[in-house]
Structure 1
Amino acid sequence: MSPRIISADCHVNEPPHVFDRVPAQYRDRTPRIMRGTDGGDGWSFDGKPPKRTYGVEAMAGRAKDEHVASGMRFEDILPGNYDGAAHVADMDLDGVDVSVVYPANAVFTYQAADRGLAQACMAAYNDWILDEFQAADPARIVGLPMLPVDDGIAAATTELDRVLAAGAKAAFLPGNPVRPYHDPYYTDLWAAAAANGVPLTYHRTFGGKPQESDWDNIADNNFSAAGTVHRFFSSTRQLTYMALGGVFERHPGLRLVVGEVNFGWLPFWAQTADEQFENQHSMGTLSVTRPPSGCLGEQVFVTVLDDRVGFDLVRSGAYPYLAEAAMFSTDYPHSVCLWPNTRKIADELTRGLDAADAEAILSGNAARVYGV
């Protein structure tokens, strides 16, 4: 039997009332759940029928062979998508102790042209995820409020202070910010997160305007096999520039979690980044003083699903940092989610692992980073 399990990457599907708390001046323009042309329900951000309706992002409880890409209605999805108490009940069915919960459609507020409306919607979401969803069992749910990093760092740090006062244990960043995360623009945010001892996290390409390579998914909200594969490798640019740009060295208390990217690729990334560090450090062209791999398991973490390549690499013992950098996850309620078979799959993945490594991946790393 596997030890305690913390899922470091789960999601909500926001309920219809999630934006009800916005100020009166925005209420006639808030995003709404509407019926789509395929008969399913989805979120509309422009008053028109949604481009996509519920499907792959709400598959928990559906047979895997149904292949529901879209066309589901709100009443078809499990209450654990939007109700905290029901979410905990689904965790109990799955043998999961703690769930770290990312937003879903609310991330499209990062793309909204009306930034006043966008910030009001973010604040409303943050109030809902903390005051309703997480509040159902604060010891077992870690809600991730969104920070408006594209609206000035003062706005982001002010919102961070506000949500921390409301009980947040961490905060969410967009995967595609207007300015890259190695930009000095973020200095005050990194310092604030480090000073408060709270981790920050982004999830693949969730949130923000699209990179060209991910246009199909983010701009048109399409589901594609190619986009899904690409997003497992989407964090390499951010991490490389942050590590070699000195972000982690300048802010030793900063902890960053990258959601749903797995870890089988990490050794090659670490090897390549360390080689360039050695090459250019000897030339005196770098300001950093330690190889990028040194941040893995100390400041940088990744969430993993059933990445059998990654678990085989841990078993090999060749890359000790892998077990310290990985946080297990179920991805409830998405189509690839392990629910309700997480215990069985965790036992299979960790078979033959050193007990300390298994414990670190399944719960220990998330426990120490998120303080749960």
Structure 2
Amino acid sequence: MPLQDHMQLISVDDHLIEPPSLWTDRLPKKFQEAGPRIVEMDVSENTGDDAMVATLFNAGGATKKRLAEVWTYEGRVYPNIGLNAVAGKPPEEYGMDPTRYDDMLPGCYDVHARVTDMDIDGVQAALCFPTFPRFSGTLFLEGKDPELALLSVRAWNDFHLDEWAAAYPDRFIPMIILPLWDPEAAAQEIHRCAAKGAKAISFPENTVGLGLPSFYTDHWDPVFRAAEETGMPLCMHFGSSGKPPITSPEAPMAVMIALFGTNSMDATADLLFSQVFYKFPELKVALSEGGIGWVPYLLERIDLTWEKHRWYQNVNKEVRPSDLWRKHMYGCFIEDLEGVVRREKVGIDNIMWECDYPHSDSNWPKSRQYVTEVMEDVPDDEVHKMVELNARRVYNFPRSE
């Protein structure tokens, strides 16, 4: 049975490729040279340090071109202008990085073309993560000039809120990134952006891998408090910690891709055994692109651990971890038949759907067809929650009249 006409698909994990002028249009003149900008680079005859750039461009089946467009920031070169932006290409042409904007569908970086591609795909609304700044803005942790880094974070947020999401308010859930090096400044940015209509915050699924304090400290309290006060969930996209699940140096990237859900498992265990949800009882966390099939097993394992070991551990001894999951956490899936089959164990109110345009995991342009197939045996009221209603509730994103 096809999805009912009244059910609108909302993707809680898509990605946008930043247009070349995002920062040059918004940064003060004194930062134009050092701030993020696009330049052309000859990657076919580089030597020394630039040889690594050439290798990146020519690896993984990426299109080989002599002149490539790259991002620079404070003199450093970042070649992945469109990480895995392969929508519309056959799998045998997939690679990690397009080398020029004209290698991608315009919908990757042009909001009007994106809405056209969403219409083709049968997707009503989407939440779009960054690309160049990485999924939660962690690139700006590398900034040498803290003033430029903060202005660069704010520029991305202003672009997203004032230009991208504002162009079609009923089609995009507005998201922001944070100056992660300063929790107080991050809290201020949450409140500034909430006043402009932001609905979601991208945040690393593990801060320790970034050289930052863990969820077990009080370091992040200003951020969690501001998120709670503004009603914005933290969106923890797998891999945002910068710690991919590689098993060995020789393992192909396929191993990392297959295991990426373990990042979300790690975040779940950390959060459920930490004091975060006790200190901030209204905080919400969405595990973006983490899948859901693992949730029943992990919740069972965590509850058993809590039952047997809580008495001598520094964990809460009153509240069952799985109860915290159902109140605070949300699993998000693209293709996860096992998770859909076991949806009651995950929590039907705790599941949201993703498209992942323009990455290789996306089913674009057949997302609605895929969701119809995977939800074939699911009651309509449960389907409606998972593909639309849960997202509207979690992100405070009501239908427009």
TM-score, reference length from structure 2 = 0.83
Q: CA deviation at 1:214?
A: 5.8
SS in 2 for 1:100: strand
Q: Which residue of 2 aligns with 1:63?
A: 90
For the residue of structure 1 that corresponds to 2:335, the secondary structure is: coil
Residues 1:128 and 2:159 aligned together: yes
Shift in alpha-carbon separation, 1:288–1:34, aligned structure 2, 3 A: farther
Distance 1:92 1:332 in 2: 13
Q: Secondary structure at the residue paired with 2:330?
A: strand
SS of the aligned residue for 1:277 comes to: helix
User: Residue in 2 aligned with 1:220?
Assistant: none
Name which one, 1 or 2, has greater alpha-carbon Rg.
2
- Report the TM-score when normalising by structure 1: 0.89
Quick one: distance in 2 between partners of 1:211 and 1:199?
22
SS in 2 for 1:7: strand
Q: How does 1:327-342 map to 2 (within 5 A)?
A: 327-342=352-367
The correspondence for 2:388, drawn from 354, 363, 366, is 363
Distance 2:18 2:276 in 1: 33
Match of 1:9 in 2: 13
Q: Provide the rounded CA distance (Å) in 1 between the counterparts of 2:340 and 2:226.
A: 34
| Structure 1, 71-80 or 337-346: larger mean CA deviation | 71-80
Pick from 96, 114, 119: which aligns with 1:92?
119
Distance 1:175 1:291, change over 3 A: same
**Letter paired with 2:328:** Q
Q: How far did residue 216 of structure 1 move?
A: 11
Indicate conservation of the 8 Å contact 2:36/2:74, yes or no: yes
- Give me the whole-angstrom Cα distance separating, in 1, the residues matched to 2:70 and 2:318: 49
Q: How does 1:269-280 map to 2 (within 5 A)?
A: 269-280=298-309
For residue 196 of structure 1, what is the amino acid of its counterpart? T
**Paired residues for 1:164-183 under 5 Å:** 164-177=194-207, 178-183=212-217
Q: 1:120 to 1:53 in 2, by over 3 A?
A: closer
Q: Is the 8 A contact 1:6 1:97 kept in 2?
A: yes
Matching residue's letter, 2:69: D
Q: Equivalent of 1:24, from 29, 33, 36?
A: 29
Amino acid aligned to 2:224: W
Q: Considering only aligned residues, what root-mean-square deviation do their CA atoms show, in Å? A: 2.4
The amino acid that maps onto 1:28 is: E
Match 1:162 to one of 187, 192, 197 = 192
Post-superposition offset of 1:42? 3.4
Decide whether aligned partners of structure 1 residues 111 and 324 sit closer, same or farther in structure 2, where only a CA change above 3 A counts: farther
Check 1:99–1:288 CA distance in 2 against 1; reply closer, same or farther (3 A cut). Answer: farther
CA contact under 8 A between 1:200 and 1:257: conserved in structure 2?
yes
- 1:345 maps to which residue? 370
Alpha-carbon distance between aligned partners in 1 of 2:244 and 2:291, rounded to the nearest angstrom = 22
Q: How does 1:192-341 map to 2 (within 5 A)?
A: 192-206=226-240, 210-211=242-243, 213=245, 224-283=253-312, 285-314=314-343, 317=344, 319=345, 321-341=346-366
Seen in structure 2, the aligned counterparts of structure 1 residues 243 and 337 have a Cα distance that, compared at 3 Å, is: same
2:132 corresponds to: 105
Distance 1:224 1:330 in 2: 21
What per-residue deviation string (whole Å, max 9, x for no partner) do you get for residues 50-97 of structure 1?
44454x621112233322333441122122222222222211111111
329-338 vs 275-284, greater mean Cα deviation: 275-284
Q: What are the ranges of 5 or more consecutive residues in structure 1 without an aligned counterpart?
A: 218-222
Q: Distance in 1 between matches of 2:374 and 2:317?
A: 36
Call closer, same or farther: CA 1:128–1:175 in 2, change over 3 Å: same
Alpha carbons 1:157, 1:188 under 8 Å: kept? yes
Q: Please, which moves more after superposition, 23-32 or 137-146?
A: 23-32
Q: Which residue identity lines up with residue 43 of structure 1 in the other structure?
A: W
Give the Cα separation in 2 of the matches to 1:99 and 1:34: 30
CA distance in structure 1 between the aligned counterparts of 2:261 and 2:312, rounded to whole angstroms: 33
* CA separation of 1:216 and 1:199: change in aligned 2, threshold 3 A: farther
Conservation of the 8 A alpha-carbon contact between 1:246 and 1:288 = no
Counterpart amino acid of residue 25 in structure 1 = K
Aligned ranges 1:133-144 → 2 under 5 Å: 133-144=164-175
Preserved CA contact (<8 Å) 2:118 2:124: yes
2:70 corresponds, among 6, 21, 42, to 42
Instruction: Spell out, residue by residue over 1:334-360, the C-alpha distance to the aligned partner (whole angstroms, 9 max, x if none).
Output: 111111100110011111112222122
Q: Which one-letter code corresponds to 1:247 in the other structure?
A: V
1:180 to partner: Cα distance:
1.9
Structure 1: how far apart are the matches of 2:248 and 2:189?
A: 31
Residue of structure 2 in register with 1:354 after alignment: 379
Q: Where does structure 2 lack aligned partners over 5 or more consecutive residues?
A: 44-63
**More helix, by proportion:** 1
2:107·2:114 contact (CA, 8 Å) conserved in 1? Answer: yes
Cα deviation, residue 158, structure 1:
0.5
Q: State the alpha-carbon separation in 1 of the partners of residues 128 and 230 from structure 2.
A: 20
Q: Give me the whole-angstrom Cα distance separating, in 2, the residues matched to 1:59 and 1:83.
A: 15
Q: Hey, what's the Cα distance between the residues in 1 that align with 2:337 and 2:167?
A: 34
Q: Secondary structure of 1:184's partner?
A: coil
Q: Partner of 2:12: helix, strand, or coil?
A: strand
2:52: which partner in 1? none
Measured against aligned partners, the alpha-carbon deviations of 1:297-355 in whole angstroms (never above 9, x if no partner) come to: 421112110112212222xx5x1x33222210000011111111001100111111122
CA contact (8 A) 1:232 1:261 kept: yes
